């Protein structure tokens, strides 16, 4: 089934909250229900995304916060143009594994105003129909990161992530929903379905 207009859902939150897994679980359910959908992850694998990946691996040395912010914005501009807008135009459900609330929170935690970052993004990026913000006690996230990857990237230091999560928790509005990922995968999935039911006329 192709919807007459697309639906945009963003999965957000600090590292280690299980967003990517939940994104995949929802995508599988939609596919089973024959609802055309796509998962898009940011940072992307495009030219800006690759520069960002190098920064994640090697750390922030020599790169100013302004440049870092600019790279994430450039990556997203490319993503909107090449992937997100075309998928929405084709009537797909677009599941974003991170979107501009990540920029507002992660780069906001470097000292920029999160609300300004959000407003600047909304000048070029379509606004999501729903934003699911996953949260966890940060120690739990750090444990998951360590066991999954055996190490932390430059963005995964504990004090920094605590500040990032504070910003994530500060967003308000009817499209924003908070999901506790401190329960089983199935229970988190149920919370996800509950928070997006209305977008699918209660059919999920």
* Binding of residue 79 to ligand TYD (CB under 6 A): no
Query: Taking CB positions, which residue lies at the least distance from ligand TYD?
Result: 106
* Binding of residue 43 to ligand TYD (CB under 6 A): yes
Please choose, out of 24-32, 95-103, 136-144, 169-177, the segment that lies near ligand TYD by the rule CB under 6 A: 95-103
* Binding of residue 15 to ligand TYD (CB under 6 A): yes
Tally of CB atoms within 10 A around 163: 17
CB of 93 to ligand TYD, least distance (A): 20
* Binding of residue 13 to ligand TYD (CB under 6 A): no
Alpha-carbon distances, residue 51 vs 15, 46, 48, 64 (angstroms): 19, 9, 5, 14
Please choose, out of 86-94, 97-105, 131-139, 181-189, the segment that lies near ligand TYD by the rule CB under 6 A: 97-105
d(CA 130, CA 26): 14
Burial class for 200, CB neighbours closer than 10 Å (0-12, 13-18, 19+): middle
d(CA 14, CA 36): 28
Of the candidates 26, 93, 98, 167, which one interacts with ligand TYD according to CB under 6 A?
A: 98
Give me the residue label for tokens 């992660």.
Answer: 106
d(CA 134, CA 13): 5
CB 84 within 8 A of CB 41: no
Of the candidates 50, 56, 183, 193, which one interacts with ligand TYD according to CB under 6 A?
A: 56
Q: Which residues bind ligand TYD (CB under 6 A)?
A: 15, 20, 42-43, 56, 72, 98, 102-103, 106-107, 155
């Amino acid at each position: 089934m192709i919807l007459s207009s697309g639906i945009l859902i963003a999965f957000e939150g600090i590292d280690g909250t299980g967003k990517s897994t939940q994104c995949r679980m929802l995508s599988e359910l939609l596919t089973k229900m024959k609802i055309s959908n796509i998962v898009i992850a940011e940072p992307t694998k495009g030219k800006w995304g690759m520069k960002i990946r190098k920064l994640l691996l090697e750390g922030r040395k020599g790169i100013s916060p302004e440049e870092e912010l600019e790279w994430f914005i450039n990556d997203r501009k490319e993503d909107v143009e090449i992937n997100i807008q075309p998928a929405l135009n084709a009537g797909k459900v677009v599941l974003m594994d991170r979107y501009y609330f990540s920029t507002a929170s992660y780069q906001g935690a470097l000292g920029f105003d999160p609300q300004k970052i959000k407003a600047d993004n909304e000048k070029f990026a379509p606004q999501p129909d729903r934003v699911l913000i996953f949260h966890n006690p940060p120690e739990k996230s750090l444990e998951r990161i360590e066991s999954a990857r055996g190490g932390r990237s430059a963005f995964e230091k504990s004090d920094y992530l605590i500040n990032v999560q504070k910003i994530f928790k500060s967003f308000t509005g009817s499209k924003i929903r908070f999901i506790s990922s401190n329960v089983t995968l199935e229970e988190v999935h149920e919370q996800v379905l509950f928070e997006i039911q209305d977008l699918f006329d209660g059919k999920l």
